[in-house]
Amino acid sequence: MGTTITLTVVATSETVANTALNAGFATVAEMERLFSSYRQDSVLAQVNRAAGGEPVSVPGDFVTLALLARKATEVSEGAFNPLVGPAVRLWGIPENPRVPDEAELTALRPLVSDPQGLAIDEFSHRVRLREPGMALGYGGIAKGFTADKVTEVLQGHGIAGGIVAIAGDIRVFGTHPDGTPWRVGVRPPREGEGSGPLATLEMTGGAVSTSGDYERFFELDGVRYHHILDPRTLWPAKAGTVSVTVTAHSGALADALATALFVMGPVEGLALAERMPRVEALFVDTTGTQSATSGWPGTEFLREPPANGLRD
pLDDT at res. 222: 82
Residue-wise pLDDT for 38-80, tens only, equals 899 999 999 999 999 999 999 999 999 999 999 999 999 999 9
Domain ranges (residues) in the chain: 1-312
pLDDT at res. 242: 93
Mean pLDDT computed over every residue of the chain: 92
What average pLDDT does range 78-104 have in this prediction? 92
Choose among 276, 310, 312: nearest CA to 295.
Answer: 276
pLDDT at res. 306: 42
| Residue at 152: amino acid letter | E
- The predicted model scores a pTM of 0.93
* pLDDT exceeds cutoff 80 at 235: yes
Residues 6+ apart with CB under 8 A from 181: 175, 202, 203, 204
* pLDDT category of residue 307 using cuts at 50, 70 and 90: very low
* pLDDT category of residue 308 using cuts at 50, 70 and 90: very low
Q: Give the whole-angstrom CA distance, residue 102 versus residue 87.
A: 12
Q: Which architecture, in CATH terms, is 1-312?
A: Roll (3.10)
Residue-wise pLDDT for 216-226, tens only, equals 778 887 888 88
* pLDDT exceeds cutoff 70 at 312: no
* pLDDT exceeds cutoff 50 at 141: yes
